[in-house]
Amino acid sequence: MNILAISGSLRAASTNTSLLRAAATLAPSGVTITIYDGLDDLPHFSPERDVEPAPDSVSRLRTQLRQADAVMICTPEYIHGMPGVLKNMLDWLASSGEFVYKPVSVISAGPSASGGSRAHALLFHTLEVLTAHLPEGASLIVPSVKMRLNGHGEITDPVLAQELKSVIDSLVNAVQASPAIG
Ligand SMILES: Cc1cc2nc3c(=O)[nH]c(=O)nc-3n(C[C@H](O)[C@H](O)[C@H](O)COP(=O)(O)O)c2cc1C
């Protein structure tokens, strides 16, 4: 089973990307979590650019999503919303439909007590509009994230590691329970 993990942060030292890297090490056997590294390459979305052939970076994204059994998105909150780069990516997928019925895990993480809950809610809603499958138990808000990772971006809080494992399990169960949709 292949899960594509997308971080909403472009920062090299991103805590959100660190959580996805940690998730990759927590995945059960038979489940591969691959970090998407093309967010920074996507052009600004415009309906006039959304024609065939799509820009290479957009084609690559769409292919990777089509080949993924499920998706994990982990994002920080910027100005009470999701980062523009993440929303830009979702705009490229509105017409092509890769998220339709796709099991998606929505995670937000931030240094504050809210853990990016407003970005989480907005991302969740956008994915609902794209008719993604948002399985129960596959959602997570991670407050105080900087206190729960070490300097190498590894999880030091066993509660967080357990929560992340549980998110992955819920996502995997959702894939196993859903009919194959090509
Ligand atoms: C432009 C900008 C806006 C931000 N706005 C918020 C915000 O509205 N709420 C919040 O909790 N944190 C906010 N933050 C703090 C980020 O959540 C924090 O920097 C986070 O660690 C970034 O995630 P990363 O480590 O994955 O890059 C903002 C940061 C930036 C750079």
Chain segment 103-153, per-residue pLDDT in tens: 999 999 999 999 999 999 999 999 999 999 999 999 999 999 999 999 999
List the CATH number of the domain containing 135: 3.40.50.360
Query: What mean pLDDT value characterizes the chain?
Result: 97
Q: Quick check: is 87 in a domain?
A: yes
Atom of ligand 1 nearest to the CA of 16: 26
User: In this predicted structure, what is the pLDDT of residue 178?
Assistant: 86
Q: Whose CA is nearest to atom 21 of ligand 1?
A: 110
User: In this predicted structure, what is the pLDDT of residue 157?
Assistant: 98
The dihedral formed by the CA atoms of 161, 109, 65 and 105, expressed in degrees to the nearest 10:
60
Q: Is the pLDDT of residue 63 over 80?
A: yes
d(C-alpha 18, C-alpha 7), whole Å: 9
- Residue 120 sits in which domain range? 2-46+54-177
Average pLDDT rounded to a whole number, residues 66-90: 98
Q: Are the C-beta atoms of residues 3 and 20 closer than 8 Å to each other?
A: no
Q: Which two tokens stand for residue 49?
A: 């650019």
User: In this predicted structure, what is the pLDDT of residue 47?
Assistant: 98
Q: Quick check: is 112 in a domain?
A: yes
Number of domains comprising the chain:
1
How many Cα neighbours within 13 Å face the side chain of 125? 8
- 110 CA distance to ligand 1 middle (Å): 6
Q: Quick check: is 105 in a domain?
A: yes
Q: Is the pLDDT of residue 170 over 90?
A: yes
Task: Supply the DSSP symbol for 39.
Answer: G
Q: Quick check: is 182 in a domain?
A: no
Average pLDDT rounded to a whole number, residues 7-29: 98
User: In this predicted structure, what is the pLDDT of residue 45?
Assistant: 98
Q: Quick check: is 24 in a domain?
A: yes
- 143 CA distance to ligand 1 middle (Å): 12
34 pLDDT band, cuts 50/70/90, is: very high
**Is 110 touching ligand 1 by the criterion CB < 6 Å?**
yes
Instruction: Name residue 41's amino acid.
Output: D
